[in-house]
Structure 1
Amino acid sequence: MERREEECLTPGMIDGYLGSLAGKGRSSSSLESYRRVLKGIYEYLPEGKTIREGTGAEWKSYLEGQGFSPVTVDCRISVWNGLVQYLGHREWQMDDFRREKGEAQPELSRAEYLKLLSMAKHMGKEKAYLIIKTLGGAGMRVQELPQLTVEAVRRGMVELEYHNARQKRVLYLPEGLRRELQGYINREGLHGGAVFRSLEGGPMARSSINYLVAIVGREAHVDEGKATPRGLWKMYQNTCMGIRADVSALIEQAYQRMMAEEQLAVGWDA
């Protein structure tokens, strides 16, 4: 079957995608967050609501121009990628976030993430513990780990560069993690450079990081498809989206209460 070069996005397509997510067990708060992002995509599109291969990149540039934080942009692009995959256009996904070919990756839950941390601690694998926490707790991508340096830990923030320094983002380390990283640095006698290193002294290879996480995952009885750096990153994104959905719901409730109080005070029939 010949692939279309463009599609007309309809509310029915969006509802269908949300229905597929609900069928995978997504929480109501996550679904509401997805719905808002998808509504934003729909409203961004010009008359005709046509999407094509370059639409994701154009929307990303628009979001950045509106001043959204890199984490927020990443989360929204993740929704775009899921939508176009659902529509049968994996080739329209943004390359930075495109999944490996094959079946969709099972998703790591927050409880399973905590199991990984607990098991790494139980096994005495401090490096694995810190890598898991940096990926899943702080939201760093595995390819960015070499940029987590001794100097960055001292500052409490990492200035990350990717796409040959054409794009940048700043990641602030949670204080608890920063203290743990500093303790590890002190015990390892590191004075500069990458925090996570190979036996030869250079930054750890991705294959070694994958292996460390997988070992902990097996001992923690977490599905091997979930106990991966990619699974940790996706869990971080889903957690952020759920929190934003909860905060948005609280804001809406507070606003409705305020309107009700004003209605009692100055409503037409008050």
Structure 2
Amino acid sequence: MSAFITPTALEEFAQYLRAEDRSSGTIENYLRHVRTFSKWLGERPVTHVKCAEWKEFLQQQGYSAVTINSMLASLNRFLDVAGFGTCRVRPLRIQRRIFQKQERELTREEYHRLVAAARNQGRERLALLLETICATGIRVSEVRYITVEAAHTGRAEVSLKGKIRTILLPGKLCRKLLKYAKDRKIASGEIFLTRGGHSISRKQIWSEMKSVCSAAGVAPTKVFPHNLRHLFARTFYQASRDVVKLADILGHSSVETTRIYLISTGEEHAQQLEQLRLVG
């Protein structure tokens, strides 16, 4: 086995990830991280020492611990698949995070402003897309499962990462989806399509969401599809207090993953401390 990262090795890695039913977005991330390492490595062979040096390099460049661990996870998976398992590096140890950064958390009020801004601009598809993701908690890669048939039955069958789960659609959302589909003469299949009749891409969804930030008065750092999923999770949990059920709805195999979605901001925690009234 050659101790160098070759285009063939990267393609074999991509095929391996596809065989694992990884989403296209996940595969993109894995490959991007490995290519970043390969570019830094240059003509040098892959060794444990070089992998450890890359970890140090990322820290020196000011990457966050979470980002570094994500990049290392991608690299370690590649090393295993490519036969370089002895070169794996340990992730950084991070104390469990108990606060969410306030500048990253999308509030309910901000979400409603985004929807209103999209509708004021006559962009009904974007407005309805925002509502659909936020009202169901689906991943952006699962938007294609929102079909006319699903809107009629009130449930969408999602198949992703080797698992099949049922997503319930609120009645009001179903009525909006069916009206939208009827107005655009979409009789069956996917509802969110491009003008050419193709599935709307992850990149396009991101771009369209960012484009209404200014009109809505919401910081772009808060606006991306996954934050709508986080808002759904927090809102659902506040109503049900059932983290196990929430994990099933979100399609998480671990409740610990779901708990990450429920981290509150430091400001909210400070308010809770004030309400304790333990200072005379």
Q: Equivalences for 1:19-168 in 2 at 5 Å?
A: 106-163=104-161, 166-168=162-164
DSSP 3-state at the match of 1:160: strand
DSSP 3-state at the match of 1:137: helix
**2:175 counterpart of 1:182:** no
| Deviation of 1:126 (Å) | 0.6
Aligned twin of 1:34: none
| Deviation of 1:89 (Å) | 5.9
1:229 to 222, 225, 230: 225
CA distance in 1, matches of 2:69, 2:193: 38
CA distance in 1, matches of 2:122, 2:208: 12
TM-score calculated relative to the size of structure 1: 0.51
| Deviation of 1:121 (Å) | 1.9
| Deviation of 1:186 (Å) | 0.4
Which 4+ runs in 1 deviate beyond 6 A? none
Letter in 1 for 2:204: S
Change (3 A) 1:226 1:152: same
DSSP 3-state at the match of 2:157: strand
Aligned twin of 1:28: none
Instruction: Count residues in correspondence.
Output: 152
Aligned twin of 2:240: 244
CA distance in 2, matches of 1:200, 1:109: 34
Change (3 A) 1:237 1:202: same
1:66-91 deviation line (CA, Å, top 9, x unaligned): xxxxxxxxxxxxxxxxxxx78x9656
Percent identity over the alignment is 28
DSSP 3-state at the match of 1:225: helix
CA distance in 1, matches of 2:220, 2:171: 30
CA distance in 1, matches of 2:122, 2:132: 17
CA distance in 1, matches of 2:115, 2:138: 16
DSSP 3-state at the match of 1:171: strand
Aligned twin of 1:220: 216
CA distance in 1, matches of 2:139, 2:166: 13
TM-score calculated relative to the size of structure 2: 0.49
| Deviation of 1:117 (Å) | 1.4
Letter in 1 for 2:141: Q
1:236-261 deviation line (CA, Å, top 9, x unaligned): 112122223499xxxxxxxxxxxxxx
| Deviation of 1:169 (Å) | 1.2
Letter in 2 for 1:238: R
Change (3 A) 1:213 1:89: closer
| Deviation of 1:158 (Å) | 0.3
CA distance in 2, matches of 1:220, 1:146: 26
**2:207 counterpart of 1:206:** no
1:52-105 deviation line (CA, Å, top 9, x unaligned): xxxxxxxxxxxxxxxxxxxxxxxxxxxxxxxxx78x965689x9xxxxxxx978
CA distance in 2, matches of 1:199, 1:119: 21
Change (3 A) 1:191 1:246: closer
- Mind listing any 5+ residue stretches in structure 2 that lack a counterpart? 1-64, 78-99, 244-280
Alpha carbon RMSD of aligned pairs, Å? Answer: 2.8
CA distance in 2, matches of 1:201, 1:225: 30
